[in-house]
Amino acid sequence: MIFVICFLVDLYITQCDKRYGDLPNFVHILQLILKIICLATLLKFFAYEVKLAIKQGKYYFKDYWNYFDILFIVTFFTNVIGGYLDLYDIIITYLDVCILLLAFIKLNFFLRIFEGFSYLASMM
């Protein structure tokens, strides 16, 4: 949930910067802090996935959710690196859309745990 909120605010700041031009320095500092929070969150998930892969061995790759988790982490890191390397805007936009879609699916995966959301999340 923290990742989704930070990523959406970061995406909003990026779009405002593209549309209105120069934003104050504190906004860029806020954007950097948001990216660090997103990276820290995904690094935590990455460490968990590595521990799980070591523990499960070859059976780790039999569950398709594990591929999804790896794709989610790689897509975000590619987006951050591509954003700082000033790749084409269309590539960054596609990566942003992929991250939003993957984050929505991951959020629904976690919401299945809670009883109040389990039926709604399973229907989605």
| The predicted structure's pLDDT at residue 81 | 85
pLDDT of amino acid 77: 87
Packed helices 64-84 and 25-56: angle between N→C axes, nearest 10 degrees = 150
| Angle, CA of 94, 96 and 99, to the nearest 5° | 110
pLDDT of residue 124: 58
The Cα 61–Cα 33 span in angstroms is 33
CB 31 within 8 A of CB 10: yes
Q: How many residues does the chain have?
A: 124
What pLDDT is attached to residue 47? 93
> How many Å apart are CA 29 and CA 90, to the nearest integer?
24
pLDDT at site 61? 87
**pLDDT tens digits in sequence order for the chain, 124 residues long:** 788 888 888 888 887 877 777 778 778 788 889 989 989 998 998 999 899 999 998 898 888 888 888 888 888 888 888 877 877 777 888 888 888 888 887 877 777 776 665 555 556 5
Name, in order, each residue with C-beta under 8 angstroms of 111's C-beta and a sequence gap of 6 or more: 117, 118, 120, 121
